[in-house]
Amino acid sequence: MPAPAPTPVDESVPVEEPAPTENVEPQPQPQPQPQPQPQPQPQPQPQPQPQPQPQGRGRVRRRWVVWGALAAVVLLVTCALPAVLLVGLVGDAAGRSATGDDAATAAARRLGTRMAAQLDQQAAALLGGDRTGFLAVAEPAARTDLTRRYAALRALRVTVWRPAVDDVPRAVAGRPGEWELPVSVGYCFVVPGCTPATVVLGTRWREVGEQPRLLAFDASHATPAGARPWEVSDLAVAFGKRTVVATTPALRGKLPDLLAQAEAAAQVADLYAVGAPPPDRYLVFYAGRGEWSRWYGGGRPSWTAGYAVGVGGGHHDVVLNAASLTPAGVDDLLRHELTHAASLPDRGYSGRADWWLVEGLAEYAGADGQPVLRYEGLAEVRKLVRSGWNGRLDGLAPADNAADDRVGGSYGIGYLAVRHLVDRYGEQRLLDFFRAVIHDRSTVEEASERVFGEQWRTLHDDCVAYVRDAAG
């Protein structure tokens, strides 16, 4: 039986948290050093970090793909150093010889060291609940945005905030005294000992005497992850034992029901964790119309009602589209998307040919053991099968502009194929097959013979026959 619904905690004004004591240190990938710059350089964009692609599903309670390949590349972590620490090439710049650098580059390195120290100070203030200290490194014009960002991060109970600087600042062309510097930040919410998620932020500075002053954090633009909600929106947050649910203050009234539904969905999704324990917390964002087009870059297909997007460190944030959800569709959508968060690897899966397996497992979890005849998408499966489906599982992934019934039929066929494999071999062997194909990147042929002891060609045809029979 499901556990009693948890009591939501409205965290628009966050509960103060002690500074974390868990030591988890990301090791950034080395970046090439820039050549000497005798003249100010044009302002570059912050370096994008490879990101995963969202998963989700269609129909009235439409979801979407795990964004193609969920190709998240994350910083490796070890448990050795304090939770707030600036690392990277700039960290030791003050003691580095200027051999090979011209005077301008050496001066930029020294400036970068001072910027790193300011970011270090700001991180300690954030984790310590010191808003004044968090704002102290910034120019007055930046403080409105930074105040909102501070409040959102504290509302989410940030426990790790670790900036890492791996480059030297660059002068902004046409703006004497202004500099830009990309910063990679590892962060955790609620759990101090988590493996941090990562984001690359652009920062802009003004050189004022000995201490550079922060002008702005630019919103991250890496695709497909894009700007995190805490970068660009005020947030109201509720906490459960297994989930954190956040939305805008205008929609805070939805939080109690959403939290109860997310907690129930997490109990199901935990059963389908593959390759690692279930996530320490599932993070769910409920997006209004404006936020849907802004959070994580927007730009989803029109049939999307929710998606999971990898953000590094084994974490996948889940986003629900408030405008397209019906009350009856929230529960299975949450089970579907949280199962993506539990089952997918950081680097995603290898291509569209495996879409049926990724989405089929999530649909199977979403159905939560109901009989096949009660599966809501059977009518759409029937329509797709009768309209000339070619009988290939590896060609099911719908186009971004696909009609809703085509999308629903594709998800339904994936569900039925996975359901057939579970009925025949059991859930554990299905998960072993999923791990071999999606995590280990074995071919379906190799995985089928190793896990099921059968040729995939034969099993594929059996799955297709089951789909056609269920469709009637």
Give the pLDDT confidence of 370-389 residue by residue, as tens digits: 999 999 999 999 999 999 99
Residue 334 phi/psi, 5° resolution?
-65, -45
Select the more confidently predicted residue: 326 or 362: 362
pLDDT band (50, 70, 90) for residue 464? very high
Write the pLDDT tens digit of every residue in 393-412. 999 999 989 999 999 999 99
Closest by CA to 411, choosing from 340, 312, 462, 320, is 340
What global pTM score does this model have? Answer: 0.81
Instruction: State yes or no: pLDDT of 14 exceeds 60.
Output: no
**What is the average pLDDT across 305-312?**
93
For 174, phi and psi rounded to 5 degrees?
80, 0
Q: Is 426 left (phi over 0), alpha (psi -120 to 50) or beta?
A: left
Rounded mean pLDDT of the chain? 83
User: Going along 62-148, which residue ranges are E strands?
Assistant: 76-78
pLDDT, average across residues 220-236: 85
C-beta of residue 207 within 8 angstroms of C-beta of residue 218: no
> Residues 279, 229, 224, CA angle at the centre, nearest 5°?
75
Q: What is the DSSP string of 177-220?
A: TEEEEEEEEEEEES-TTSPPEEEEEEEEEE--TTS-EEEEEEPP
Lowest-confidence range among 21-30, 181-190, 236-245? 21-30
- Amino acid code (one letter) for 372: V
Rounded Cα–Cα distance for residues 196 and 340 (Å): 19
72 Cβ contact list (under 8 Å, min separation 6): 50, 51, 52, 310, 311, 312, 346, 347, 348
* Angle separating helix axes 456-471 and 404-425, nearest 10 degrees: 120
What pLDDT is recorded for position 223? Answer: 56
Distance CA 227, CA 299 (A): 12
Of 314, 309, 313, whose CA–CA distance to 295 is shortest?
309
Please enumerate in sequence order all residues whose Cβ is within 8 A of that of 168, keeping only pairs 6 or more positions apart, or say none.
Answer: 33, 34, 89, 90, 93, 105, 108, 109, 112, 181
Is-contact 363 409, C-beta < 8 A? no
Pairing state between β 282-287 and 243-247? parallel
Comparing 227 with 49, which gets the higher pLDDT?
A: 227
Give me the count of residues in the chain.
472
Question: Which CATH code for domain 25-29+71-221?
Answer: 3.10.450.50
Share of the chain above pLDDT 90, in %: 67
What integer pLDDT is reported at residue 289 of this predicted model? 94
pLDDT category, 69, cuts 50, 70, 90? very low
pLDDT band at 101 (very low <50, low <70, confident <90, very high): low
Give per-residue pLDDT as tens, 39-59.
434 444 444 443 444 455 444
Q: Tell me which of 430 and 32 has the higher pLDDT.
A: 430
Q: What is the pLDDT of residues 409-441, one digit of tens each?
A: 999 999 999 999 999 999 999 999 999 999 999
In terms of DSSP bridges, do strands 178-189 and 158-164 run parallel, antiparallel, or are they unpaired?
antiparallel
Structural tokens at position 415: 């569900």
**Which of the pair, 272 or 312, is modelled with greater confidence?**
272
CB 77 within 8 A of CB 25: yes
pLDDT of residue 30: 39
Give the least confident one: 38-47, 83-92, 149-158. Answer: 83-92
Tell me the C-alpha distance between 197 and 210, whole Å. Answer: 32
Q: Specify the 3-state DSSP secondary structure of 46.
A: coil
Give the tokens for residue 69.
Answer: 């390949």
Cα 120 to Cα 17, 93, 107, 208, 298: the distances in Å are: 18, 15, 20, 18, 31
Q: Where in the chain is the domain with CATH 3.10.450.50?
A: 25-29+71-221
In angstroms, how far apart are the furthest CA atoms of the chain? 77
Would you tell me how many other CB atoms lie within 10 Å of the CB of residue 469?
Answer: 10
Contact (Cβ atoms closer than 8 angstroms) between residue 244 and residue 284: yes
Give me the mean pLDDT over the 263-289 stretch: 97
- Decide: 341 and 269 in contact? Cβ < 8 Å: yes
Instruction: Taking each helix axis as running N to C, give the angle between helix 143-155 and helix 103-127, from 0 to 180 degrees, rounded to the nearest 10.
Output: 50
Distances (CA, A) of 250 to 18, 184, 236, 421: 29, 31, 9, 44
Flag whether pLDDT at 131 surpasses 60.
yes
**Parallel, antiparallel or unpaired: strands 178-189 and 197-206:** antiparallel
- In the predicted model, is pLDDT for residue 71 greater than 80? no
